[in-house]
Amino acid sequence: MVKESIKFVDLNAYHQEIKVELDEIWDTILRESSFIGGSNNAHVNKFEKDFAEYIGTDYCVSCANGTDAIEVALLALNIGVGDKVIVPAISWASTAEAVINIGATPVFVDVKYDDCLIDEQLIEAKIDEDVKAIIPVHLYGKPVDLDTIQKLCKTHNLFLIEDCAQAHGAEYNGQRIGTFGDIACFSFYPGKNLGAFGDAGAMTFKDENIADVARQICNHGQKGKHNHLRVGRNSRLDGLQAAVLSLKINRLDEHIDKRIQWAKEYNGLFENSENIKPPVLEEGLRHVFHLYVIRTENRNEMVEKLKANDIPFGIHYPNTLPSIEPFNATGSYPVADKLCQEILSLPMHPYLNSNQLNVIAQVLSEQ
């Protein structure tokens, strides 16, 4: 087999393809020299409209990054000191960090061995009168069990905040994620499935009034110019990022379909493997494979083989959130603990090819 350099993600391949359009954006932004959005930047307004349309919602508010999106979502729902918020034991740090940063306490729930997603069966036991919201994470790009979680929120009068940072375009029973929660939070960090040229984020909403509050919080508490209604912050998307995102969203679905194609091809290659458990593709879900994560009890061995062959990999994540020093939570999370020893992320991006997947599978199966 031809040896070629395999990338974990390949942003440059896409950017070369749209270089002419990107150059036009740079030129336009330079000429306009109007960089920061607020509510009167045409590029920001356009992207918010484009993204709302893509997700299938009426209200979208952009912000500086995905972590801010979660913090602002919590603040817009009036959650704060003395409140608790349910989060999964495995996620990127932001999910729990945002809860702590607004003065509330994260309550961790263990995850399912099959897919690392929050175990919806364990949520109810953690609900008490201080719990105000659940933040499920569509981790790796796979939608959580929204039916069950929506029912729990209804029964216990809780807000549902979707962490969609890894799942732009994912679908649950034919409906885009980001339309199920009171608020959904997105990140456009460059490596996400839809990525900007720096930090960027957004929220989508069911309710216009909550969207309005979130917009104020993101822009120093203002409604319009110099009309400060609350203590806010500076968390705005800039016009350059917005213009890049409006261009890149055009091919998001095509790129997701490629990711799914590679995921299926990987799964086929691992079908008869004794020590690799590939991710499961479920009926009724569009898993968008932000990450392709296998589980293996021989992870150290696999990692050594990948290193020896210059094949990049990742571990998302090596530690559970409750075990991380600054969160330092009580309780036991046996499934998450086990998974953090077994999960291994293999190269995943639209520009892979069958040859590369074969090389990776062969390297992993070598005795």
The residues binding ligand PLP (CB under 6 A) are 65-67, 91-92, 94-95, 137, 163, 165-166, 187, 189, 199, 201
Q: What is the nearest approach in angstroms of ligand PLP to the Cβ of residue 316?
A: 8
Q: Between 48 and 357, name the residue whose CB sits nearer to ligand PLP.
A: 48
Q: Between 38 and 314, name the residue whose CB sits nearer to ligand PLP.
A: 314
The 3-state DSSP composition of the chain as helix, strand, coil percent (nearest 5) reads 40, 15, 45
Residue 123: helix, strand or coil by DSSP?
coil
Tokens 């008490």 -> residue: 128
Q: Between 99 and 123, name the residue whose CB sits nearer to ligand PLP.
A: 99
Max CA pair span of the chain: 68
Q: Between 315 and 363, name the residue whose CB sits nearer to ligand PLP.
A: 315
Q: Between 101 and 309, name the residue whose CB sits nearer to ligand PLP.
A: 101
- Assigned token pair, 204: 């989508």
Q: What is the nearest approach in angstroms of ligand PLP to the Cβ of residue 90?
A: 10
Residue 320 per-residue DSSP state: -
Tokens 């263990």 -> residue: 110
User: Residues 176, 169: contact at Cβ < 8 Å?
Assistant: yes
Q: What is the nearest approach in angstroms of ligand PLP to the Cβ of residue 96?
A: 10
Q: What is the nearest approach in angstroms of ligand PLP to the Cβ of residue 189?
A: 4
Residue whose C-alpha is closest to residue 213's, from 201, 199, 231: 231
- Assigned token pair, 190: 């460059």
Q: What is the nearest approach in angstroms of ligand PLP to the Cβ of residue 68?
A: 7
Q: Nearest to ligand PLP by Cβ — which residue?
A: 66
Q: Between 291 and 359, name the residue whose CB sits nearer to ligand PLP.
A: 291
Q: How many C-beta atoms surround the C-beta of residue 342 within 10 A?
A: 17
- Angstrom distances, CA of residue 178 to CA of 104, 170, 264: 23, 9, 25
Q: What is the nearest approach in angstroms of ligand PLP to the Cβ of residue 273?
A: 27
Q: What is the nearest approach in angstroms of ligand PLP to the Cβ of residue 166?
A: 5
The rounded distance, in Å, linking the Cα atoms of 153 and 133 is 8
Q: Between 219 and 235, name the residue whose CB sits nearer to ligand PLP.
A: 235
Residue whose C-alpha is closest to residue 195's, from 333, 346, 15: 15
User: Residues 168, 194: contact at Cβ < 8 Å?
Assistant: yes
